[in-house]
Amino acid sequence: METDRLSDREWTVLDALWALPEGGTLGELTDALFPRTGWSRNTVLTYLTRMEAKGLVAIRREAAPRRYQAALSREDWAAGERRSLLRRAYQGSAGKLVAAFLREEAITPQERDELRRLLDEMEV
């Protein structure tokens, strides 16, 4: 699944939806988003409607009141982002990606051991 880049606001909405496994009503989402965003009910509804058109949000219209859910899981979205980053920035090379992160960010001895274990399992 190829994902488009999410705006910060779309990420905020999806983050709130992912926190509600069964989805949420407009009121529940407005309440969840208000402390972070200050958005009104109308603003939340506008984002939900636009995000549905983009395939990011599913609306269960048969429910009363309507329920809104993320159309993709956090894991699926993250996997698409990783593939996109790998393709665009590292010419599809996972090794180049990992090397770049390791050069720029320190890892703990435990993380290093886990990385070695994963590489051994892959027979790399």
Full DSSP string of 33-77: HHHHH---HHHHHHHHHHHHHTTSEEEETTSSS-EEEESS-HHHH
Per-residue pLDDT, 1 = 36
| 80-104 mean pLDDT | 89
Pick from 87, 71, 89: nearest CA to 10: 71
Pick from 65, 34, 5, 106: nearest CA to 13: 34
pLDDT surpasses 80 at 124: no
pLDDT surpasses 80 at 45: yes
| 30-36 mean pLDDT | 96
